[in-house]
Amino acid sequence: MNKVVSLDKARKKARDARKKGMCQHDIHQWKIWHEKQFDPKAGKLVTVYRCARCGKQKVKTL
Protein backbone atom coordinates (compact mmCIF):
# COMPACT_ATOMS: atom_id res chain seq x y z
CA MET A 1 0.00 0.00 0.00
CA ASN A 2 1.07 3.53 -0.69
CA LYS A 3 1.32 6.22 1.94
CA VAL A 4 -1.04 9.13 1.57
CA VAL A 5 0.60 12.45 2.40
CA SER A 6 -1.52 15.42 3.30
CA LEU A 7 -1.17 18.20 0.75
CA ASP A 8 -1.13 20.84 3.49
CA LYS A 9 1.84 19.20 5.22
CA ALA A 10 3.76 18.91 1.96
CA ARG A 11 3.16 22.58 1.11
CA LYS A 12 4.20 23.70 4.59
CA LYS A 13 7.38 21.64 4.41
CA ALA A 14 8.27 23.12 1.02
CA ARG A 15 7.54 26.67 2.22
CA ASP A 16 9.74 26.23 5.33
CA ALA A 17 12.59 24.85 3.23
CA ARG A 18 12.33 27.80 0.85
CA LYS A 19 12.52 30.30 3.73
CA LYS A 20 15.62 28.69 5.21
CA GLY A 21 17.27 28.43 1.81
CA MET A 22 16.81 32.10 1.02
CA CYS A 23 18.49 33.20 4.25
CA GLN A 24 21.36 30.81 3.58
CA HIS A 25 22.03 32.76 0.38
CA ASP A 26 21.84 36.17 2.14
CA ILE A 27 18.38 37.04 0.84
CA HIS A 28 16.86 38.16 4.13
CA GLN A 29 13.49 39.72 4.84
CA TRP A 30 14.52 42.75 6.93
CA LYS A 31 12.00 44.32 9.33
CA ILE A 32 12.68 47.22 11.70
CA TRP A 33 12.91 46.09 15.33
CA HIS A 34 11.41 48.87 17.45
CA GLU A 35 12.46 47.63 20.90
CA LYS A 36 16.05 48.88 20.69
CA GLN A 37 16.53 52.41 19.34
CA PHE A 38 19.50 53.73 21.33
CA ASP A 39 23.02 52.31 21.63
CA PRO A 40 24.41 53.24 25.05
CA LYS A 41 28.00 52.28 24.17
CA ALA A 42 28.19 54.56 21.13
CA GLY A 43 25.75 57.11 22.56
CA LYS A 44 23.84 57.33 19.29
CA LEU A 45 20.43 56.53 17.93
CA VAL A 46 20.40 53.34 15.89
CA THR A 47 18.01 51.47 13.66
CA VAL A 48 18.04 47.73 14.27
CA TYR A 49 16.88 45.50 11.44
CA ARG A 50 15.96 41.88 12.16
CA CYS A 51 15.25 39.15 9.62
CA ALA A 52 11.68 37.89 9.96
CA ARG A 53 12.72 34.40 8.87
CA CYS A 54 15.97 33.59 10.69
CA GLY A 55 16.40 36.31 13.33
CA LYS A 56 19.74 37.71 12.08
CA GLN A 57 20.30 41.37 12.99
CA LYS A 58 22.01 44.34 11.37
CA VAL A 59 22.41 47.82 12.83
CA LYS A 60 22.53 51.23 11.13
CA THR A 61 23.48 54.38 12.99
CA LEU A 62 21.72 57.65 12.26
First to last CA, the chain: 63
pLDDT number for residue 32: 93
Higher pLDDT, 62 or 50: 50
Q: What is the pTM of this model?
A: 0.60
Residue 8 has pLDDT above 90, yes or no: no
pLDDT number for residue 19: 65
Higher pLDDT, 35 or 50: 50
For the chain, the structural domain boundaries read 28-62
49 Cβ contact list (under 8 Å, min separation 6): 30, 31, 32, 33, 57, 58, 59, 60
Residue 34 has pLDDT above 70, yes or no: yes
Instruction: Give the pLDDT mean for 39-45.
Output: 82
